[in-house]
Amino acid sequence: MSMYLGTKTKGLQASTPSSSRTAGFFEPSSRFVKSLFVLKLALASIIVLLVCFALALPAQATRQSPELVASIKAAFPDCRMRLDGAFETKEGDLYLPVMPPQVLKKIQVKLVEVYPLQQPVKAKPQVLFFDNGVTFIRVLVSGKNRTFLPLASLSEKGRKIVLAGHLAEDLIVPEGFILPPIFKSVVGQTAVVLGEPAKESAANPVNSTGQVKPSNSQAKSQQLGLFLTSRNSGNITLVDQASWKKISDFPTEGTPAGMACVAGRLYIADISKNRILILDTIAKQFVGQINLLPKSAPKSIVAMGSGKLLYVSESGSADIAVVEVDSSKVLLRTKVPPGPGRMAITPNGNTILVLNTITGQVTFISTLNQRVLGSIVVGANPTAVVISPDGKTAYVSCRGELNHIAVIDIAKRGILANIKTGNGPTGLAISADGGTLYNAIAKDNMIAVFDTATKASVKQIKLPLDIDFPGNIFLLPDGKKLIVSSATTTAFGVLNIETGEFECQPVIGHSSDEIICAPI
């Protein structure tokens, strides 16, 4: 090794002072360090340039694959592709991409479907479905707003494809672009506004049973009536809330069950006829119906706060159908455990709780993407559900052999406590401040009152003799009266909350089940 080093340094010593052999030995190492420093400096400069170049590029640019671009160009030869994955035609029409959970890799991407299928001459396609999973939707101009076409106009398959996708995160949002709430899951993290055009009236709030509450102006200008269903007789009965006198019966020739009221129209689930009846509460007449699938057996209905969507539990097929009110069309269905019955919706409209009677479960559904968030076991035969005004807690009566009310943490989807009740707990209602819970005890013919803070029973009120086997209860909007149904007699009860006594038992001529308040 020393011979090798001596040989390498011999030539170097000729050009260095003879007085320093040591200096000659270390000089190559010093030059090497200098060269290495220059090299590092050059590399650092290159890295800086690359970073600057990268920063100059659009972040997360949604560039469509060359195969997809070729297919788009074949359909729109003069179109211009944008960096956010959208494209604009020569005529100025803008198509935004809805990206699937995973884009399929294809050697050749094909346009598999165009909506509408039947187009008049020079008509422009509204939706383009490609076989790699990407969908393009044309932006429509509506006054000062821009939006997509109504989702209900697509086939059920098309709606599912769109709702399963999402807009590109780097989307250049068109000015004034707004989408209906049904597109929540599609909008994702983009800056797209959810809602309706400004010309439409503001949405009314919704209670936990899905009844859209009237605005203050509506409440002042309209008289309220009480509607009660009777499965045994097939009637819907209207009662004057001021005098407690029966105004009218509306025969359905079916089996009326759950109800929801939206903008002066009552939507009633008809179990035996597989339909939703529509009753104009002001005109006091049926104005139409929404036909559901055979053997779907709808039982319960809740409405979104905007009044644009209805959720219907189809007990026969174990589905929750999403119905668009304006078009009266079913947009899609969400599969749930067997036997879905009564439902409740959180005050913010984001979550629906479904009682699964057969399995003893509660299923949670997100209205953001219409998907099941999870299910929990609450006990045998869950019968009624109500949600606290703050949207944090749900109460579910279970009339199995344990006879209890399950207290549920909605956010965590877990059981907080079980409240022991009498025999056969059924209907539930909660006060506006969330402090008092009312429970109908069917087999004991009484109303039990609980303190929600302590979970303790504070009062038990026996029912009058002409009220028997209460299946449902309803707290009037003013919180002063509790309406109690009767499954085996021809009257219902009116309980004064303040005195704890029944004021009257109006006779309607048949049994009663579901109860709701609506403008008349």
| CATH value at residue 490 | 2.130.10.10
DSSP-derived letter for residue 212 is B
Taking the CA of residue 113 as centre, how many other CA atoms within 13 Å lie in the half-sphere pointing to its CB?
15
Sign of torsion over alpha carbons 320, 322, 325, 330? negative
Give the residue numbers spanning the domain of 189. Answer: 66-194
Q: Are residues 131 and 161 in the same domain?
A: yes
Does 23 fall in a domain?
Answer: no
Task: Tell me what pLDDT residue 161 has.
Answer: 94
- Is residue 369 very low, low, confident or very high in pLDDT (cuts 50, 70, 90)? confident
Distance CA 273, CA 255 (A): 7
Distance CA 377, CA 400 (A): 13
Q: Are residues 163 and 99 in the same domain?
A: yes
Cβ neighbours of residue 119 closer than 8 Å, sequence gap 6 or more: 125
Which helix (H) or strand (E) segment holds residue 294: the answer is: none
Answer whether 312's CB lies under 8 Å from 269's CB: yes
Q: Which of 7-11, 72-76, 414-418, 420-424 has the lowest mean pLDDT?
A: 7-11
Does 426 fall in a domain?
Answer: yes
- Is residue 100 very low, low, confident or very high in pLDDT (cuts 50, 70, 90)? very high
**Hey, what are 219's tokens?**
């409440």
Question: In whole numbers, what is the pLDDT of the chain averaged over residues?
Answer: 86
Does 211 fall in a domain?
Answer: no
Taking CA 46 as the corner, what is the angle to CA 44 and CA 48, rounded to the nearest 5 degrees? Answer: 70
Task: Tell me what pLDDT residue 52 has.
Answer: 46
Instruction: Please say which residue of 194, 229, 263 terminates a domain.
Output: 194
**Hey, what are 255's tokens?**
């089996």
Q: Are residues 53 and 70 in the same domain?
A: no
**Hey, what are 46's tokens?**
């290159």
10 Å CB burial of residue 286 (0-12, 13-18, 19+) is: middle
Residue 189: is its pLDDT beyond 70? yes
Query: Which alpha helices (DSSP H) does 146-208 contain, by range?
Result: 156-164, 184-187
Q: Are residues 44 and 118 in the same domain?
A: no
Q: Which of 133-142, 204-213, 406-415, 442-451 has the lowest mean pLDDT?
A: 204-213
How far from 318 is each of 294, 339, 340, 371, 372, CA to CA, in Å?
Answer: 13, 6, 6, 14, 13
Q: Are residues 101 and 175 in the same domain?
A: yes
Q: Are residues 513 and 487 in the same domain?
A: yes
Answer whether 251's CB lies under 8 Å from 488's CB: no
Q: Are residues 54 and 82 in the same domain?
A: no
- Is residue 22 very low, low, confident or very high in pLDDT (cuts 50, 70, 90)? very low
Query: Which alpha helices (DSSP H) does 80-236 contain, by range?
Result: 156-164, 184-187, 216-221
Task: Give the residue with greater pLDDT, 62 vs 246.
Answer: 246
Compute the chain's Rg from CA coordinates: 34
Residue 71: is its pLDDT beyond 60? yes
Answer whether 436's CB lies under 8 Å from 449's CB: yes
Instruction: Please say which residue of 137, 162, 194 terminates a domain.
Output: 194
Q: Are residues 355 and 401 in the same domain?
A: yes
How far from 66 is each of 82, 98, 470, CA to CA, in Å?
Answer: 13, 17, 66
Task: Tell me what pLDDT residue 30 has.
Answer: 57
Distance CA 383, CA 421 (A): 13
Distance CA 295, CA 314 (A): 9
Listed residue (278, 304, 301) closest to 203, CA to CA? 304
Does 9 fall in a domain?
Answer: no
Q: Which of 44-48, 182-186, 233-237 has the lowest mean pLDDT?
A: 44-48
Q: Are residues 317 and 183 in the same domain?
A: no
Residue 456: is its pLDDT beyond 70? yes
Does 208 fall in a domain?
Answer: no
Listed residue (209, 166, 461) closest to 352, CA to CA? 209
If one counts the domains in the chain, the total is: 3
Answer whether 261's CB lies under 8 Å from 252's CB: no
Q: Which of 148-152, 241-245, 275-279, 500-504 has the lowest mean pLDDT?
A: 148-152
Q: Are residues 159 and 243 in the same domain?
A: no
Q: Are residues 87 and 178 in the same domain?
A: yes
Residue 147: is its pLDDT beyond 70? yes
Instruction: Give the residues across from 353 on adjacent strands.
Output: 344, 364
Task: Tell me what pLDDT residue 97 has.
Answer: 96
- Is residue 17 very low, low, confident or very high in pLDDT (cuts 50, 70, 90)? very low
Q: Are residues 103 and 244 in the same domain?
A: no
Which range of 42-51, 218-227, 305-314, 386-395 scores highest in mean pLDDT? It is 386-395
Residue 363: is its pLDDT beyond 70? yes
Does 464 fall in a domain?
Answer: yes
Listed residue (249, 256, 250) closest to 230, CA to CA? 256
DSSP-derived letter for residue 152 is G
Task: Tell me what pLDDT residue 124 has.
Answer: 85
Return the percentage of the chain with pLDDT > 70, whole number.
82
Residue 3: is its pLDDT beyond 50? no
Residue type, 272: S
Task: Tell me what pLDDT residue 170 has.
Answer: 82
Does 210 fall in a domain?
Answer: no
Residue for token pair 């409209």: 349
How far from 460 is each of 152, 369, 421, 457, 472, CA to CA, in Å?
Answer: 48, 42, 11, 8, 16
Instruction: Please say which residue of 37, 58, 79 terminates a domain.
Output: 58
Answer whether 309's CB lies under 8 Å from 323's CB: yes
Distance CA 312, CA 257 (A): 11
CA 377 centroid distance within chain: 22
Does 389 fall in a domain?
Answer: yes
Residue 222: is its pLDDT beyond 90? no
Task: Tell me what pLDDT residue 351 has.
Answer: 94
Task: Tell me what pLDDT residue 64 has.
Answer: 92
